[in-house]
Amino acid sequence: MTTIDYSVWDHIEVSDDEDDTHPNIDTPSLFRWRHQARVERMEACHKKGEDLERNLTESRRKLQEAQKKVQELSLLNTEEAKKQLVKAQEEEKRLKKEERSCEKKLEEHQREERKMPWNVDTLSRDGFSKSVLNVKPEVKEETEEEKEEKHKTFVEKYEKQIKHFGMLRRWDDSQKYLSDNPHLVCEETANYLVIMCIDLEVEEKHALMEQVAHQTIVMQFILELAKSLKVDPRGCFRQFFTKIKTADQQYQDAFNDELESFKERVRGRAKVRIEKAMKEYEEEERQKRLGPGGLDPVDVYDSLPMEMQKCFDEKDIQMLQETISKMDPTEAKYHMKRCIDSGLWVPNSRTDDDAEKEEKEEEPQYEEVKKETSDGQDESDSK
């Protein structure tokens, strides 16, 4: 059976017993003074709690900044950076100790606050004024259409600047350009540079492709560094250039390996695109060649017997007729039907001689006009 704990009622600061006071004491004034003193104690306690919470929050903020600084300095290999790293680690250790001290003080204060006796003010106070659910806000994931529209808008606005960055060669130039244009440090720039590399390789501009490929890997390394540090890429690109310029062999090797792999992938993608374009072009040409029956004359010609091919090569109709007469009628009919459907053979067509003869027949005939003399005789007769 569940029991109810009534011990909380044992320490109530105000009770009905306070109505019994000495006759010479002004009871309302006494109660008013006691209430004022109680309110002041409560306010002082509440203020102390707020100060302790504020100190803890500030201590945690400083600790996060110190930890971030330690992470940044650990990426650098210069002597100055190593000295600063030691100091930063000491500061981090001190702030951790300070954070634990603040937590301990706040816990002690909260225990003391819970031990305070209840009174008329705390008894009438709401225990819960609101409900708070610790639910992580749902982050809406972008659809493919939204991503494509975002990329299109960005490129339309900054295409010229992206291309300029892709043509840079020196580390210092790249760093300065990104410092002047930090909005370029993003996924959209990296994606555009990848497409730009493939286009250049398709156009057989190999040296230029390799230059842009270098800048593409620069941007991708910056984005990966930001992801590992969980910071905005615009705030850490200087760290990448500092590290790559200190000639850290391991980091440089990783960069070069990724660059070579990327160039190979670009060549592969360009090759696939060229092959696809060639197939599309060949298909368009084939569609143009199709005869009235939907057959390709090239395919049909290649399938003909050698004797028939020779007839078409020499454009000898008499030879074709003789060749067909010697073939099996079924086979001859099959091949001739395919020739007609592909346009290799047009039935009932006129030969050049027939066309020339017909042309002559269609020429207008002119008759000599006879002129009559004044005496009624033909001029030709008079002659």
Give tens-digit pLDDT for 248-303: 678 788 888 999 999 999 999 999 988 888 888 887 877 777 777 778 888 888 88
Cα separation, 232 vs 186, in Å, equals: 9
Closest by CA position to 379, among listed 369, 77, 364: 369
Name the burial class of residue 296, with classes exposed (0-12), middle (13-18) and buried (19+) by CB atoms within 10 angstroms of its CB: middle
Closest by CA position to 95, among listed 120, 59, 58: 59
Cα separation, 181 vs 175, in Å, equals: 10
**What are the structure tokens assigned to 298, written together?**
């090239």
- E strands within 146-198? none
Confidence of residue 235 (pLDDT cuts 50, 70, 90): confident
Backbone angles phi, psi at 170, to 5 degrees: -85, 145
Confidence of residue 13 (pLDDT cuts 50, 70, 90): low
Cα separation, 48 vs 71, in Å, equals: 35
The helix/strand/coil state of 347 is coil
Query: In the predicted model, what is the mean pLDDT of residues 359-365?
Result: 49
Task: Evaluate if residue 189 carries a pLDDT over 70.
Answer: yes
State the pLDDT at residue 373: 45
Average confidence score pLDDT of the chain: 77
Closest by CA position to 266, among listed 313, 203, 224, 221: 203
Return the higher-pLDDT residue of 245 and 204. Answer: 204
Other beta carbons within 10 Å of 73: 20
Confidence of residue 225 (pLDDT cuts 50, 70, 90): confident
Q: What is the pLDDT of residues 27-77, one digit of tens each?
A: 666 566 666 776 677 778 778 888 888 888 888 888 888 888 877 777 777
Confidence of residue 366 (pLDDT cuts 50, 70, 90): very low
Q: Which ranges in 143-248 belong to alpha helices (H)?
A: 144-166, 171-180, 187-202, 206-229, 237-245
Residue 225: CA count within 13 A, CB half-sphere? 26
State the pLDDT at residue 383: 41
Cα separation, 10 vs 12, in Å, equals: 6
Task: Evaluate if residue 24 carries a pLDDT over 70.
Answer: no
Q: What is the chain's alpha carbon radius of gyration, rounded to the nearest angstrom?
A: 48
**What are the structure tokens assigned to 222, written together?**
């910056």
How many Å separate Cα 376 from the centre of its chain?
103
Q: The tokens 């109530």 sit on which residue?
A: 12
Q: What is the pLDDT of residues 307-330, one digit of tens each?
A: 888 888 888 888 888 888 888 888
Cα separation, 127 vs 269, in Å, equals: 66
Using an 8 Å Cβ cutoff, are 229 and 71 in contact?
yes
Q: What is the pLDDT of residues 133-164, one digit of tens each?
A: 545 555 566 677 888 888 889 989 999 999 99
State the pLDDT at residue 9: 52
The helix/strand/coil state of 260 is helix
**What are the structure tokens assigned to 247, written together?**
């000639």
Cα separation, 302 vs 104, in Å, equals: 93
State the pLDDT at residue 29: 63
How many Å separate Cα 281 from the centre of its chain?
30
Cα separation, 207 vs 273, in Å, equals: 19
DSSP bridge partners of 378: 372
**What are the structure tokens assigned to 144, written together?**
């493919």
State the pLDDT at residue 292: 76
Q: What is the pLDDT of residues 101-142, one digit of tens each?
A: 988 888 888 888 777 665 555 555 555 455 545 455 555 666
